[in-house]
Amino acid sequence: MSDERSIRQLAGDLAAKKLSAVELTDHFLKRIAAHDERLNTLISHSESTARERAAAIDAGTDAGTPLAGVPIAHKDIFCTRGVRTSCGSRMLDNFVAPYDATVVERLAAAGTVSLGKTNMDEFAMGSSNETSFYGAVRNPWHTDYVPGGSSGGSAAAVAAGLVPAATGSDTGGSIRQPAAFCGVTGIKPTYGRVSRYGMIAFASSLDQGGCFARSAEDCAAVLQAMAGFDERDSTSVERAVPDYSAALDAQGDDFLKGMKVGLPKEYFAEGLDDASRQVINAAIAEFEARGAEIVEITLPHTDLAVSTYYVLAPAEASSNLARFDGVRYGYRCDNPVDLEDLYTRSRGEGFGREVQRRIMVGAYVLSAGYYDAYYLKAQKTRRLIARDFSDAFDKVDLIAAPVTQAPAFKLGEKLDDPVSMYLNDVYTLPASLAGLPGMSVPAGFVDGLPVGLQLLAPWFEESRLLGAAHAYQQSTDWHSKRPAGFE
């Protein structure tokens, strides 16, 4: 049986010595041993260091920290000193970072015990977790289906009860989409809220770290430990972090009363699967029943999001991934004959197809003669998309929408068709381009596969997101459903 206690309960029971950190760590390590061969959620395992750390916590090392003894797993995009950080790529298969990412450091300082590193699409490029060098992750709700991506390992591990919480990163939907596909709660904070230091860069103006857990309450506890200014990240924002859990408690069940919730009509137009629409409508009815005022809004430039994103993100990626040169760390080809050969073969052999595709799209849109038509143009349409949201938030407090057009698809179904994979991100890309905080909250099922409700709030209003999701989770139990075979 998976441990059903919330993170707050676990932390309380650990602090009160009703539960030992070793016991709890062993519980989850056993579940990983029993189930992960089938799901492939972890790339690297840290059993022995996790047990040592748990024993030290039991001996009192982390007394007084908010999450002392709570197990966690980190997406393999976050650098961990002494544990391989592969980013899902052959390029970094041998890479052991000489330092910890700020997120890793802060969660360790908060008392968490890391059980391992979770599987992901290579360099976070993908929406199905099938581009990983370490093989696809399977969705615990139906193992013929994808878990979503790119943080698919983190989402599936939490869904299967292999760990109570896991970190993730979201560039175009890589937290919200896998959270929706796996039926867990996920939050992508405002750009700049969580430090990117030590989080391997994909598209630096979009990348943002966040987390997965079973409930909004659990996400609040984990995000609290991650968020906040970091002088080592020049895009980190100097702004106080509110007490998220206190915000949840303060208004509790009444959180949604009087809140104006906007439904962007573009997210409910053609393309949204009918059964998913019914699930989302039922969730919105619940918001209304709890006192929210529902209004229709428009985000008129939504249809530009896919093309804007697939110019800007590859452009930034082609620049960021130029650092992988086979010289200082990572994969190096055998017997290079000259420097050019060293670069081209190391990169030709070390990167997978999707990463190469995006690097080439990026190099193309940035190349002489095309810069204005693609890159500069996309930066302008990005502003139009962001303005849509600032206009909308003049009228509403919160936006509610589907996360995806349909539930999880089958493994292999879209792998050979990158464009159809890209179009799948249409509801998550706009908020990423605008840098807004967003969540995915379990809202029901279609044919046994989870459906997520997307919530978006104004910049830096993570408390509002978490509060709304928490209020919804007080009267619904979608977030506490467990996939068969993983109870």
Site for other proteins in 86-115 (CB under 8 A): 94-99
In angstroms, how far is CA 204 from the centroid of its own chain? Answer: 15
Q: Which residue has the tokens 């017997």?
A: 335
State the catalytic residue, choosing from 86, 89, 127, 150: 150
Cβ of residue 93: shortest distance to other proteins, in angstroms?
A: 12
Please state, in angstroms and as integers, the Cα–Cα distance from residue 443 to each residue in 281, 288, 380, 450, 480, following that order: 10, 15, 35, 7, 11
Residues 300-329 that bind other proteins (CB under 8 A): 301, 303-304, 306-308, 310-311, 318, 322, 325-329
> With contact defined as beta carbons under 8 Å apart, do 96 and 209 qualify?
no
Does residue 166 sit in helix, strand or coil? strand
> Which of 45, 51, 260, 357 lies at the binding interface for other proteins (CB under 8 A)?
357
Catalytic annotation present for 174: yes
Q: What is the x/- site pattern for other proteins, positions 128-167, by CB under 8 A?
A: ----------------------------------------
Q: What is the x/- site pattern for other proteins, positions 411-450, by CB under 8 A?
A: -------xx--xx---------xxx---------------
> With contact defined as beta carbons under 8 Å apart, do 57 and 113 qualify?
yes
For position 205 contacting other proteins by CB under 8 A, the verdict is yes
Q: Which two tokens stand for residue 165?
A: 């919480």
H helices within 130-207, ranges in order?
A: 152-159, 176-182
Cβ of residue 330: shortest distance to other proteins, in angstroms?
A: 8
> Which of 383, 410, 480, 484 lies at the binding interface for other proteins (CB under 8 A)?
383
Nearest residue (CB) to other proteins, 133 versus 145: 133
> With contact defined as beta carbons under 8 Å apart, do 462 and 190 qualify?
yes
Residues 227-246 that bind other proteins (CB under 8 A): 231, 234-235, 237-238
CA 335, 339, 342, 348 torsion-angle sign:
negative
Q: Which two tokens stand for residue 157?
A: 């591990």
DSSP state, 15? H
For position 199 contacting other proteins by CB under 8 A, the verdict is no
Cβ of residue 98: shortest distance to other proteins, in angstroms?
A: 4
Distance, CA of 97 to CA of 90 (rounded, Å): 15
Cβ of residue 385: shortest distance to other proteins, in angstroms?
A: 9
One-letter identity of residue 180? A
Nearest residue (CB) to other proteins, 285 versus 327: 327
For position 405 contacting other proteins by CB under 8 A, the verdict is no
Catalytic annotation present for 150: yes
CB count in 10 Å sphere of residue 311: 25
Nearest residue (CB) to other proteins, 101 versus 449: 101
For position 299 contacting other proteins by CB under 8 A, the verdict is no
> With contact defined as beta carbons under 8 Å apart, do 244 and 215 qualify?
no
* Contacting range for other proteins; rule: CB under 8 A; set: 43-51, 241-249, 370-378, 407-415: 370-378
> With contact defined as beta carbons under 8 Å apart, do 25 and 55 qualify?
no
For position 191 contacting other proteins by CB under 8 A, the verdict is yes
Size of the site for other proteins (CB under 8 A): 77
Please state, in angstroms and as integers, the Cα–Cα distance from residue 397 to each residue in 257, 289, 320, 438, 484, following that order: 12, 17, 36, 13, 37
In angstroms, how far is CA 100 from the centroid of its own chain? Answer: 19
Cβ of residue 266: shortest distance to other proteins, in angstroms?
A: 15
Nearest residue (CB) to other proteins, 245 versus 404: 404
- Residues catalogued as catalytic: 75, 150, 174
